[in-house]
Structure 1
Amino acid sequence: MTSIPPPNNCSVDSSSTNAIVTGLNALVFGIAAIVYIVTVCVSVRIKSSSTFVVYLKNLIVADILRIVTFIVRVIEPSIPLNVTVRVFQCRYSDVIFYFAMYMSIILLGFIGFDRFLKIVKPLQTNVMKNKVFGITVSALAWICMFFLNALPNTILTDQIPPQSKTFLCTVLKNDLGLKWHNYVNCVNFAIFFIVFVCLVIFYVFISKKVLQAFKNAKCQGNTPNETNTRVFIIIIVFFICFTPYHCVRIPYLLQENSLLSFNVCNNSLHDLKNITLTLTMINVCLNPLIYIFLCKKYKNKLLEFLRVKKESLPGKRDNSSGKNRCEKETL
């Protein structure tokens, strides 16, 4: 089934919401940049000793790529009538952004599966719990997504841009590029849907296991272990950040594959897509919660990092050393 490309004169101009979306993008970008400066400083101190840490570090790389490319979305609206920035955004930064976003979705699926194995089958020896397996599947995911998503969409976005700055990125794609764009959109949506379904299945079993553990602890008069309940942060973050965007993307996929006829230049839908896209970027700010709640090594290293930073402030080091001397004298 052939797709119907958008008209070349299709432009997107919604000044009523551009300022809000741009401001929200700038705020999210600023918070994400600060959070990930700390995250990188902490993660480099952690050894990749388990599949979870391997997935965690790969997720950090994907998030950093999104942060770096998202800056173009922040500065592009503030440069009026600059077609070059818009072309760069369509040809490179947006391509890398979506490539990294779907890598994040895949890696969240891997992390959910890893937690499923740890909680539901904790005593069973499994090759999928080996860090070599984690490194292998992560590398394969990066390679497949790069050659499927990033590289072709960059190469096939080679058309001469129109004079107006407010054009859709599909205008820059050649005929093969439009077909590949539609194909990749369908594949990306399938990736989201598969991970979505898998996470639901994983957490049905995890919920049963956690509920049973609470019942057993209550019967034995012990305090229920809250560690297993923290695992739900994965599915909460996934649903909040990625589900709204993909619900909005459905009309675009239907139109691009000739299953529905409507105006792709509709500003309301375009604005809604941009808002939900910002929501996917908030995922970058929320992912560190997964690291803190589920990775004890990360939490300990984070506390050490913050403690060192606090002690290095002027006036703090002497007080700290004095306190240590007092403690030694007391002992």
Structure 2
Amino acid sequence: MTNDSSLCPIHSGLEAFPYFYYLVFLAGIFGSAFATWAFRQKDTEHPCVSIYLSNLLTADFLLTLALPVKITVDLGVAPWKLQIFHCQVTACLIYINMYLSIIFLAFVSLERCLQLVQGCKVYRIQEPGFAKMISVVVWLMVLLIMVPNMVIPIQDIEEKPDVGCMEFKSEFGRNWHLLTTFICIAIFLNFSVIIVLSNILVIRQLYRSKDDDSYPRVKRTLLSTLLVTAGYIVCFVPYHLVRIPYTLSQVELISDCASRALLYRAKEATLLLAVSNLCLDPILYYHLSKAFRAKVTQTFASQAQKETPGGGSNAPHTEGTAVSAC
């Protein structure tokens, strides 16, 4: 397995991608900063969901650290050592974020499903202590899978343009990369099942509650669940459809140069969709966290009060109504 870019240059023709990554980075860092500030107010109504969302926010922070380096490398202006650093570290941070996001979105979907289907009945999985414990286990599992890709020694190669990360890897590093890929695909498939089953149960319960007086509240839960599902499908499903054939091209089981170039472009396009979850997560926080909604409502109500001439007496009433409606 050579993966020599001089024999098959596949890493060109993606000049527009860094600018899309730049837009994702700007939107994501603004949303994550606001979410960090808003999450200082704890959600006492749904503490487990709040715990999972806080972990999702932490994973997003890792992604915001990685994106500037990827943008610099993709623009072709990165020095050689930064390209090596990207292949060893920041590329791995992107995938750490991806699989942490997948897992915690699955737990959020499961928690929301249990809240709706079981009502006030509480299982062990719905206790905050369990949510904290499982969050630690998830982080350790993902890091155990991904960190070896950062620490396995790389091989020295001659400095050249259009180099791929696989060219830096030793034989052991390539084998671990291959193993990691299939483990991560298994993670994706298993937690996709959780999300799909959770949503099927939610839809079933909603159908049973369509004539209930509490249906407006149930509709809000449906909206938040559909947002999680739609964001999940758009961001992560295309990437994993491409991931297996692209990995086969990396190990040269698919050796045709034109096919490898096409798969590389497809991987980069779907990876951009996966990274865009950084923009969508603040929307999920708004719909899934009462504390986050209250903070957003309070912020914009205060701003509206300042901008309303002579309307100071109406602002408190507006804010209270908005918060109670959430």
Do both share a fold (TM > 0.5)?
A: yes
Query: Residues 164-210 of structure 1: CA distance to partner in whole angstroms, max 9, x if unpaired?
Result: 13211111111211111100010111111111122111111111111
Residue 297 of structure 1 and its aligned partner are, at CA, apart by 1.7
Identify the residue that residue 114 of structure 1 maps to in structure 2: 111
Residue 254 of structure 1 and its aligned partner are, at CA, apart by 3.7
AA aligned to 1:69 is A
Identify the residue that residue 39 of structure 1 maps to in structure 2: 35
3-state SS, counterpart of residue 266 of structure 1: helix
Please give the alpha-carbon distance, in whole angstroms, between the structure 2 residues aligned to 1:243 and 1:326.
Answer: 44
Superposition CA RMSD, Å:
2.9
Of 295, 299, 302 in structure 1, the residue corresponding to residue 296 of structure 2 is 302
Query: Residues 262-295 of structure 1: CA distance to partner in whole angstroms, max 9, x if unpaired?
Result: 4498322212211111111111111112111122
Please give the alpha-carbon distance, in whole angstroms, between the structure 2 residues aligned to 1:194 and 1:85.
Answer: 35
Query: Residues 114-162 of structure 1: CA distance to partner in whole angstroms, max 9, x if unpaired?
Result: 112111222322111100000000001101111221x211111422133
Residue 73 of structure 1 and its aligned partner are, at CA, apart by 1.4
AA aligned to 1:323 is G
Identify the residue that residue 68 of structure 1 maps to in structure 2: 65
Residue 39 of structure 1 and its aligned partner are, at CA, apart by 1.2
8 A contact 2:35–2:292 mirrored in 1: no
3-state SS, counterpart of residue 68 of structure 1: helix
Residue 327 of structure 1 and its aligned partner are, at CA, apart by 9.0
Please give the alpha-carbon distance, in whole angstroms, between the structure 1 residues aligned to 2:114 and 2:316.
Answer: 44
Distance 1:262 1:200, change over 3 A: farther
In structure 1, the gaps of 5 or more residues are none
Distance 1:221 1:177, change over 3 A: closer
8 A contact 1:10–1:167 mirrored in 2: no
8 A contact 1:82–1:165 mirrored in 2: no
Distance 1:251 1:25, change over 3 A: same
Distance 1:264 1:153, change over 3 A: farther
In structure 2, the gaps of 5 or more residues are 318-326
Residue 228 of structure 1 and its aligned partner are, at CA, apart by 2.4
Residue 258 of structure 1 and its aligned partner are, at CA, apart by 7.4
8 A contact 1:157–1:172 mirrored in 2: no
Residue 95 of structure 1 and its aligned partner are, at CA, apart by 1.0
Of 102, 106, 110 in structure 2, the residue corresponding to residue 105 of structure 1 is 102
Of 223, 228, 241 in structure 1, the residue corresponding to residue 221 of structure 2 is 228
Distance 1:245 1:319, change over 3 A: same
Q: Are 2:193 and 1:197 aligned?
A: yes
Q: Identify which range, 248-257 or 35-44, moves more after superposition.
A: 248-257
Query: Residues 33-82 of structure 1: CA distance to partner in whole angstroms, max 9, x if unpaired?
Result: 11212111111222576111000100000011112111111122334372
Identify the residue that residue 180 of structure 1 maps to in structure 2: 176
Please give the alpha-carbon distance, in whole angstroms, between the structure 1 residues aligned to 2:139 and 2:296.
Answer: 27
Please give the alpha-carbon distance, in whole angstroms, between the structure 1 residues aligned to 2:51 and 2:12.
Answer: 43
**Equivalent runs, 1:1-331 vs 2, <5 Å:** 4=1, 6-7=3-4, 9=6, 12-16=9-13, 18-46=14-42, 50-80=47-77, 82-149=79-146, 151-214=147-210, 216-217=211-212, 225-230=218-223, 231-255=225-249, 262-263=256-257, 266-308=260-302, 316=306, 323-324=312-313
3-state SS, counterpart of residue 158 of structure 1: coil
Please give the alpha-carbon distance, in whole angstroms, between the structure 2 residues aligned to 1:52 and 1:223.
Answer: 21
3-state SS, counterpart of residue 209 of structure 2: helix
3-state SS, counterpart of residue 323 of structure 1: coil
Please give the alpha-carbon distance, in whole angstroms, between the structure 2 residues aligned to 1:325 and 1:208.
Answer: 42
Please give the alpha-carbon distance, in whole angstroms, between the structure 2 residues aligned to 1:270 and 1:258.
Answer: 13
Please give the alpha-carbon distance, in whole angstroms, between the structure 2 residues aligned to 1:250 and 1:38.
Answer: 36
Distance 1:253 1:96, change over 3 A: same
Distance 1:113 1:81, change over 3 A: closer
Q: Identify which range, 71-80 or 126-135, moves more after superposition.
A: 71-80
Q: Give the TM-score of the pair, scaled to structure 1.
A: 0.85
Q: Identify which range, 45-54 or 199-208, moves more after superposition.
A: 45-54
AA aligned to 1:22 is P
3-state SS, counterpart of residue 276 of structure 2: helix
Count of aligned positions: 315
8 A contact 1:42–1:302 mirrored in 2: yes
8 A contact 1:119–1:209 mirrored in 2: yes
Distance 1:326 1:98, change over 3 A: closer
8 A contact 1:252–1:264 mirrored in 2: no
**Aligned-pair identity (%):** 22
